[in-house]
Structure 1
């Protein structure tokens, strides 16, 4: 090979590497939607929204429902795990330990809607999420208050606005220092629910629906919004989800 050809190959290689760096995604997401119980109809629409957000906000993601991929070797490629509309027991003990080590390494978690209706018998996970779901009334419109407008993704939201969703009632805090982002005013909807074995009367004057915190070396963001599939096409809701993902994956934005 002549010196000219060698030089051309070297320059091509350098250009290829440089181009790859320029177009590298901000972070890599494991999107997990496995259910063991109720299967939300919104899963397909929500995953479609993630495809849109990945292009708009320039992140990579892998979507699956395979718990066997929760192992140390596979998880090391990700910056963030998202539990999207998961329910019930979705990981075995070995897989749970891998996820714990993932967070302990300084990485992030995002839980959306029924992620709080997941893994009740795994204390570490309930602390990671922050609170566990108890019950919800019928789908209704309620008034949301933005509590921390400087958190990523909330800067575009009005201070107060009406939203239609499945308003989760939560149990007591499972972790210290939860920082609340959104609340819903129970005076604007009917919070009572009766499922026979479980009854709900609401949470009173302060009913949180989104929060974040640092936990066990990593970061966690949770939002209870997201029961209705069409909501995932709302630009404000997408900004809310991405803001939580951005902070949880990178620790930036505050």
Structure 2
């Protein structure tokens, strides 16, 4: 399994609505074996609003990591964002991180990590963090601006060839809370 396949799988897992007591039987019991167990740092630092889904994400990842052949470490400690610590990980996963999640030195370490081939996974409110970091903004693609109340929306597939959208219909309706982000690379949009 490549790190890209792993990232996409984790994205699909964490964007599913689950609660601590709900089942995730729709997901595979295991992932294909790889030569090395990918090691992922899951970062859940928040400064301001904290999503109540964070504990559920941690619980699911902790419970299933052996079945999926993954190794997760969890932290909210922004002082760990240094070159020595980050180089131990195959991927960094930000789950609903908000606010200024690391300082200037952390930003430099984050940039060096990515430039050295590190992988980044931003889940849900990861777009609500580090508004003052051009490096993070370039990595995440777009930052959260606002959202309206839950409403039915028409979703349009804008890029048909990307692996994340290849199996989606060209258009569908869904009851959802839409998020408005600064315009980045768009794969899917809602009317």
Q: CA deviation at 1:172?
A: 3.6
Equivalent residue for 1:139, pick from 150, 155, 164: 150
Taking structure 1 as reference, are residues 48 and 120 closer, same or farther at Cα in structure 2, changes over 3 Å only?
Answer: same
Matched, 1:58 2:80: no
Rg (Cα) greater in structure: 1
Higher percent of residues as helix: 1
Aligned to 1:107: 118
Q: CA deviation at 1:158?
A: 4.8
Q: Distance in 2 between matches of 1:112 and 1:122?
A: 18
Larger relative contact order, structure 1 or 2 (CA cutoff 8 Å, min sep 6)? 1
Aligned to 1:72: 83
Q: Distance in 1 between matches of 2:139 and 2:127?
A: 10
Q: CA deviation at 1:68?
A: 1.5
Aligned to 2:54: 43
Q: Distance in 2 between matches of 1:77 and 1:101?
A: 13
Please, what is the CA RMSD of the aligned residues? 2.6
Q: CA deviation at 1:170?
A: 1.6
SS at match of 1:91: coil
Q: Deviations over 1:132-180 (max 9, x none)?
A: 211110123433344456645656655544444431112244xxxx3x3
Taking structure 1 as reference, are residues 40 and 164 closer, same or farther at Cα in structure 2, changes over 3 Å only?
Answer: farther
Taking structure 1 as reference, are residues 56 and 166 closer, same or farther at Cα in structure 2, changes over 3 Å only?
Answer: farther
Taking structure 1 as reference, are residues 22 and 29 closer, same or farther at Cα in structure 2, changes over 3 Å only?
Answer: closer
> For residues 120-135 of structure 1, what are the structure 2 equivalents within 5 Å?
120-135=131-146
Matched, 1:182 2:188: yes
SS at match of 1:49: helix
TM-score by length of 1: 0.55
Gaps spanning 5+ residues in structure 2: where? 1-32
Q: How many matched pairs?
A: 159
Taking structure 1 as reference, are residues 95 and 22 closer, same or farther at Cα in structure 2, changes over 3 Å only?
Answer: closer
Q: CA deviation at 1:116?
A: 1.3
Q: Distance in 1 between matches of 2:155 and 2:78?
A: 35
> For residues 148-227 of structure 1, what are the structure 2 equivalents within 5 Å?
148=159, 151-152=162-163, 154=165, 157-173=168-184, 178=185, 180-184=186-190, 186=191
Q: Distance in 1 between matches of 2:174 and 2:75?
A: 29
Q: Distance in 2 between matches of 1:145 and 1:109?
A: 26
